[in-house]
Structure 1
């Protein structure tokens, strides 16, 4: 499975997964022209995208969705999330229900609920010929059902959004701080690290820490939190797992 993280963070999120002849996008949160250019830079022609899966309808995950109209790409999102997704041709809209499995192209896709301030935010686990990739972005907490949906993955793409002390010391309004730190906000480094300590089995899994706040996090902090949590499990980086922080 080839993973290309085309964009990550509050300015936009977009991930390309390629298995065999099938390429899908998860989120399209940068301008469509930037998505096209980023795809070409990693050797993928935009007309080869077979589907787009949206985690939720905030602009940093949907800004580039006009790409779907241009190339007639099916777009999948949580059923109620379509209340916030505009200007997508009706014939390429597909509604998903959390906790269901769908079969699309060569993939089996497990859809699981996340916790964010949107109508129907979801995460995804993609299965392809015995290989599993789980993607969890924009959630204020990771619950048991989410862990069950993601377990036994070969690749984990998960947000490690902020450092709590940095948020608390920031000049953000108190209302914004409360949103970020709430159960429908974003994962802090320690929450992400704890979740990964429950998921990683030391079989060489690949971890991508994504959606880092440019104001309230530092890549070294995010990486250190996960490494420390996994060290307590007896796992060493580059021996039992591989870790990459996406800025």
Structure 2
């Protein structure tokens, strides 16, 4: 069986992605309350207690809000790099030592039929990193929460079958919006979030022969809209010779509604 996945929730209010193979299942981030996370799992017909583990990308609350609760309630293994573990102290409550595992940046860990690769991103956290799932020749790449997409990141994620890719904001909406200038500056910086246009430019360099779908993720509720993100990304990709709808499909994600469980 191929990898199956669902973007359970994506946006500034909370992030979580579910990924499974025949033998293992993982949650990447638990950025909503324990109760909300349980509700999202029931919507895709899966049970949290069956998880192999939870992989953490970084310590911001929209990625770890429910982590401690789920870890304790379901006795789940939690994976994060050492700097992220240190940064999470005091944010997730007590997690038993035998449930804490280190997953270093730029490394690969094998779980039976699945290889999971970690890679660094550029974000204002201790040591933020995202993950690529490899299973039976299929590749699912997750990349959000980065201020820009470096050549190194592009090389790592290139030619995935499916991407979950940040398309955080429309630059004009952000500039004209209500946020104080220091927050705008942070979002626009190299350790903030990528805009629709910058995301699309990066996508145009990593889409390969086998790429089928790109899920536009981590949209700002104040500075973006699904239709705008899709239109902006489509326009930029088409300008660079990539036919949206034929070569690759753009898919929405939502802060509260999980995407359909889909095979890669």
| Corresponding residue of 2:244 | 237
Give the drift of 1:237.
2.6
| Corresponding residue of 1:121 | 128
Does 1:36 pair with 2:35? no
Structure in which a larger fraction of residues adopt strand: 1
Aligned residues: 247
Paired residue for 1:57, among 33, 44, 59?
59
Does 1:81 pair with 2:84? yes
Q: Which runs of 5+ in 1 are unaligned?
A: none
Paired residue for 1:140, among 147, 163, 167?
147
Distance 1:202 1:222 in 2: 23
**1:132-211 equivalence runs, <5 A:** 132-211=139-218
Distance 2:127 2:223 in 1: 26
- The answer on whether the counterparts of 2:162 and 2:211 sit within 8 Å (CA) in structure 1 is no
- The answer on whether the counterparts of 1:7 and 1:14 sit within 8 Å (CA) in structure 2 is yes
Higher relative contact order (CA 8 A, sep 6+): 2
SS in 1 for 2:172: helix
Tell me the TM-score normalised to structure 2 length.
0.89
Tell me the TM-score normalised to structure 1 length.
0.95
Q: Which runs of 5+ in 2 are unaligned?
A: 255-264
- The answer on whether the counterparts of 2:160 and 2:210 sit within 8 Å (CA) in structure 1 is no
Give the drift of 1:211.
0.6
- The answer on whether the counterparts of 1:24 and 1:52 sit within 8 Å (CA) in structure 2 is yes
Distance 2:87 2:169 in 1: 26
